[in-house]
Structure 1
Amino acid sequence: MNHLVRQYWEQGTHIILIDIGNSYKGLCDLIHQRTNGEDGVYYTYSEKRPIAFNPFFTEDKVFDLEKKESIKTLIMSLWKRDTEVITRAEEVALSMAVNLFLEKIKEDNELVPSFNTFYEFVQGEFRGILEEKHYREKDFDLTNFLNVLAPYYRGGEYDYLLNSDEQLDLLNKRFVVFEIDEIKEHKILFPVVTVIIMEAFINKMRRLHGVRKMIVVEEAWKAIAREGMADYIKFLCAPVKVAS
């Protein structure tokens, strides 16, 4: 499979791989070396260097529908358990928070996009917006929202996860590997990584016209099958043609 994937890459294909057991580490390192670090991105998890992303960063500050949906889905998966149903009022409030924050990123060049700054936006400016719109606590419990997401904010247990210091946009990276062996059973990390992977792939599908794209999936289906992600996967499948 390594040989086949390498051939596709050499032909100009954009490839996203979900790997178990470092099968593509050597190939990824080779590509990284051959391109002087411009390509060959390898994500893996270890205690010393945990896996980290920044879903709010794009090089061109373009946030299309799929990007917005992926961010909302990501936040929902952290906020709500599988057994909890998000209400229409909560969904509207979350959409409003995400959309307003993304607009703020576009307008303010001094703002560093990250989950930390999103959390601070919701904690401060967005709180005032909810008050102006007379949102009731039973419609959107802001205190609960912030408390549940606090572990992913600065100083929390998972504060590294969505606040990567490496501002990396995967759109133009042609060889990206997600090595998930250490996190495939993790109830928090695995679903988050799954959403990041799917968003990266669909972004390529939507924006890179006339370019071959390839995704190799080995063991991501457990996270994809989570009840809270079913609608998102259905949403993503529309533009993707599956060939056997």
Structure 2
Amino acid sequence: NYDVVIVDTGDSYSGTCSYKGGKYIKYTEEKPITMNPFVMNEKEFNIEKIEFLTNLIFMIWQGADATMSKEQKSILDNTLMSYYHQFFNRGRAWYEQVSDEELLLHLEKYNISREDILEDFEEELESNKTYYEILGVSFDAPTDEIKRKGRKLINFYHPDKNINNPDYNKEMFHRVYEAYETLTDEERRKEYNETKLAIITSQEVLKNPKTTEEWNEAFRFALIKRIKELDEKLEVSELSFNSFYEYCDRFLPIYLKNKKYNITEKEFNLRTFLFVLKDFYKGGRYGTTLNESADSTLFDEPFIVFEIDNVKDNPTLFPIVTLIIMDTFIQKMRLRNDRRKALIIEEAWKAIASKLMGGYILYLYKTVRKFWGETIVVTQELNDIIGNAVVKDSIISNSDTFILLDQSKFKDNFGAIADILSLNQVEQNKIWTINNLNNKYGRSRFKEFYLKRGGRGEVYGNEVSLEQYLTYTTEKPEKSAVEHYAKAVGNYDLALERIVADLKKIAPLDNLVPLVNLYKKPIDEKVLKYYNHIKRKHKGENPIKIIQEKVAQINEELEEKHFDRKQLELEKEKTFENLVNSI
């Protein structure tokens, strides 16, 4: 009743995964690990998810070790909030059911303030005025009255009369002049009345309010009009990195160029933001990574290993792939309510152990506990713990159990780690006994470890059978040998039984393993015969070393025969088998 997800670098768990019948997922350029972290329903939309996506986007843009400024965080948060609002509320007239204040709060996500709406409101009221309203005359005013009032306004708004006026609006002069020219010409006035005036008065436009009630109604009309315009321009039909990128391209120019709160390039450089993120957009180098949903069957798999050794040296992909795997685990954790869950992060945790991701790691630890799960972090370097604030503040402070292996090589500078793990002298003395007692005779493979829960711990021994050792080994030659047996036999349990039986014919394990890897299949009577022949012929010498030297010598000779690369590899693969058949 346990689901386990392991994030590893180095193929350490391939044998364990095969034995358990788990799902082994290895990152390659041809088949990358993909995930669409943007997909969620309205119930899953929360602050933690926004934090995760904000950090993910910033990490792509600036890298895992960069520090996010308050301005950058605010902009990315608001971009995501508005992006999801557009998706969840598409096709809904939600604005009709909320107050003016709520509408204003919504517009603040777009960096649009009350002052912006008021300014646009006044500009639109002005632009919606008829020529009669501009000149301050009635619809049936005689031409003489229009001329008299028009000349007065032309004189008032004339540029020569406003040379030292800082608030002068030249546009107003042109509008007055156009109204005057139109309404004082009988033919043009008639045409205006029949066409443009009819259009203006029939359109759904703001009317000049005269009472408080009318003003409030007109202001609400302006709010909703602006929201409708945004909804039309910023429509989101699906959730993915692709649609988010396209949304940023439309939304951010609006947000960043606000009249009152104009954001500079230094505070948020839109050009570099879109340029860097384009790598993860369709057609880009990593175009599938954040756009293709993970295999849905993963959520039902009890044991999954994600092997990401192929991206560990890629500073862009390594932290992002690690993050999307962790996000997959969180989704799995929420779906599998009836099972315990464990996320085990091997050396891959270093990819996200930055100040930027400290909050997310803390969120992960706390959330996992709520869903009957646990997070396990594995490290082999003392400096990883001592020198990383994220490890101390987010991981160690939220861990109830610590397991230490042999620490003898760190004895001279163990004080720092003892302080961090709250290990007093009594507990340290226990640690120094690990693998140092005379208790190995007559036992199977045996390693000791220190396990601490709460304030004290004890040293325990882990004794395993040869079959268990071969299942859990991380030594690549041993793993390869077991894989050759498993491939030939077709069953992992039977493969282990077979290799243990063959070990009685060719011992120790250090001799059997290289022979299997040279033969690329289980040893048979021909290999055994050849091995014993070399032992007799070179008595007192290391038979494996002699066999390896013979193989190397023949392969060198093959390279001098000018085979093409493919043919050369085929010939080399047959070298050991040809030696075996030569006896």
TM-score grouping bracket, smaller chain normalisation: 0.7 to 0.9
Deviation (angstroms), 1:27:
6.2
8 A contact 2:37–2:290 mirrored in 1? yes
Deviation (angstroms), 1:74:
0.9
8 A contact 1:24–1:177 mirrored in 2? no
Aligned mate of 1:76, from 58, 65, 71:
58
Deviation (angstroms), 1:204:
5.2
Distance 1:170 1:146, change over 3 A: farther
Using the alignment, how far apart are the partners of 2:253 and 2:348 within structure 1?
Answer: 36
Partner residue in 2 for 1:188? 316
1:212 matched to 2:340? The reply is yes
Distance 1:194 1:82, change over 3 A: closer
Aligned mate of 1:112, from 219, 224, 238:
238
1:1-244 equivalent positions in 2, closer than 5 A: 11=1, 13-19=2-8, 20-21=10-11, 22-23=14-15, 25-26=17-18, 30=21, 43-58=25-40, 62-82=44-64, 84-108=66-90, 111-132=237-258, 134-137=261-264, 138-164=266-292, 166=293, 172-175=299-302, 176-203=304-331, 211-241=339-369, 242=399, 244=401
Distance 1:91 1:59, change over 3 A: closer
Counterpart of 1:237 in 2: which secondary structure? helix
Counterpart of 1:46 in 2: which secondary structure? coil
Using the alignment, how far apart are the partners of 1:150 and 1:97 within structure 2?
Answer: 17
Using the alignment, how far apart are the partners of 2:282 and 2:77 within structure 1?
Answer: 23
Deviation (angstroms), 1:230:
2.8
8 A contact 1:205–1:239 mirrored in 2? no
Between 202-211 and 17-26, report the one with greater CA deviation: 202-211
Using the alignment, how far apart are the partners of 1:68 and 1:207 within structure 2?
Answer: 20
Deviation (angstroms), 1:119:
0.5
Distance 1:157 1:91, change over 3 A: same
Deviation (angstroms), 1:228:
3.1
Deviation (angstroms), 1:126:
3.6
Distance 1:87 1:217, change over 3 A: closer
Partner residue in 1 for 2:544? none
Deviation (angstroms), 1:89:
0.8
Note the residue ranges of structure 2 that are not aligned, 5 or more in a row. Answer: 92-235, 370-398, 402-583
Using the alignment, how far apart are the partners of 2:334 and 2:85 within structure 1?
Answer: 21
Q: Percent identity?
A: 33
TM superposition score normalised by structure 1:
0.75
Deviation (angstroms), 1:170:
8.3
Using the alignment, how far apart are the partners of 2:54 and 2:308 within structure 1?
Answer: 23
How big is each residue's C-alpha offset from its partner over 1:137-173, in whole Å with a ceiling of 9 and x where there is no partner? Answer: 2332222211221211122222222111x46568944
Distance 1:131 1:61, change over 3 A: farther
Paired amino acid for 1:26: S
Using the alignment, how far apart are the partners of 1:171 and 1:67 within structure 2?
Answer: 21
Using the alignment, how far apart are the partners of 1:243 and 1:27 within structure 2?
Answer: 30
Counterpart of 1:77 in 2: which secondary structure? helix
Partner residue in 1 for 2:481? none
Deviation (angstroms), 1:48:
1.8
Give the paired residue count: 222
Counterpart of 2:318 in 1: which secondary structure? helix
Deviation (angstroms), 1:187:
1.1
Q: Which has the higher contact order (CA 8 A, sep 6+)?
A: 1
Paired amino acid for 1:135: N
Using the alignment, how far apart are the partners of 1:61 and 1:43 within structure 2?
Answer: 30
8 A contact 1:61–1:106 mirrored in 2? no
Counterpart of 1:220 in 2: which secondary structure? helix
TM superposition score normalised by structure 2:
0.34
8 A contact 2:64–2:352 mirrored in 1? no
- Structure showing the higher helix proportion among its residues: 2
Between 66-75 and 223-232, report the one with greater CA deviation: 223-232
Distance 1:184 1:24, change over 3 A: farther
How big is each residue's C-alpha offset from its partner over 1:176-234, in whole Å with a ceiling of 9 and x where there is no partner? Answer: 43221222232122100221233333455567656422112222222132343233323
Between 220-229 and 46-55, report the one with greater CA deviation: 220-229
8 A contact 1:66–1:203 mirrored in 2? no
Note the residue ranges of structure 1 that are not aligned, 5 or more in a row. Answer: 1-10, 32-39
8 A contact 1:170–1:200 mirrored in 2? no
How big is each residue's C-alpha offset from its partner over 1:44-77, in whole Å with a ceiling of 9 and x where there is no partner? Answer: 2123222222111236772223222211111111
Distance 1:144 1:200, change over 3 A: same
